[in-house]
Amino acid sequence: MRHVVYKCFTIGAYEKEEKWLNEMSARGLHLIAASAIRYEFEEGVRGEYVYRLELLEHLPSHPESAAYLRFLEETGVEQVASYLRWVYLRRKAGEGEFEIYSDLDSKIAHCKRVVAIATGVSVLLCITIATQLIAAVLQYPELIGGPVKAGKMLLPYLFSVTIPALAVLAATLVFVQVIIIPVRRASKRLAAQKKIME
């Protein structure tokens, strides 16, 4: 029996997503396919698998990622799905504890990869916001003290186009930063630990 579940996790909540997948596995529902918000489960033995999520350095199709995934396979780790650079991995619970990384350095590097995506998105948003502002000023020089031309509808344009667009972009920018707060915290905590132990 297969079950399809739609659920949305933001990028900063991948640990929550992982926890949810493991709870589903404990109930006998094993993930077999996943994309942005669609998860497909297959019924099976309760708690048969432990699931982990990893953000790879490259897309799964990249030769380096392929070599890495092949290596994981040799250690009993199966890739069940991927979404962009994210891979959904699982290993039989009977083979013992399953973590992707056992050292602090690799854990910190993984957190940094997640934060880097959010930073990339934020930079794009900032560029878009700047472009919007420049476009508005070019069209309406009076915004920065230029001469006012008669007959031009400044206020309706601002309220119907520029301001809503900027508000949406700024809200998205804030959202992108807020969702990775847990990852930033984890990264800091690990880095502090790293100062006194390997």
DSSP code at position 36? S
160: contact with another protein by CB under 8 A: no
Q: Of these, 5, 13, 55, 72, which contacts another protein (CB under 8 A)?
A: 72
99: contact with another protein by CB under 8 A: yes
78: contact with another protein by CB under 8 A: no
54: contact with another protein by CB under 8 A: yes
Classify burial at 191, counting beta carbons within 10 Å of its beta carbon; exposed 0-12, middle 13-18, buried 19 or more: middle
103: contact with another protein by CB under 8 A: yes
Min. distance of Cβ 129 from another protein in angstroms?
37
Pair 198, 104: CB distance under 8 Å? yes
Residue type, 51: Y
State how far the Cα of 17 lies from the Cα of 23, in Å rounded to an integer. 10
Min. distance of Cβ 192 from another protein in angstroms?
18
State how far the Cα of 194 lies from the Cα of 177, in Å rounded to an integer. 25
77: contact with another protein by CB under 8 A: yes
Count of positions on this chain that bind another protein (CB under 8 A) = 19
183: contact with another protein by CB under 8 A: no
First to last CA, the chain: 45
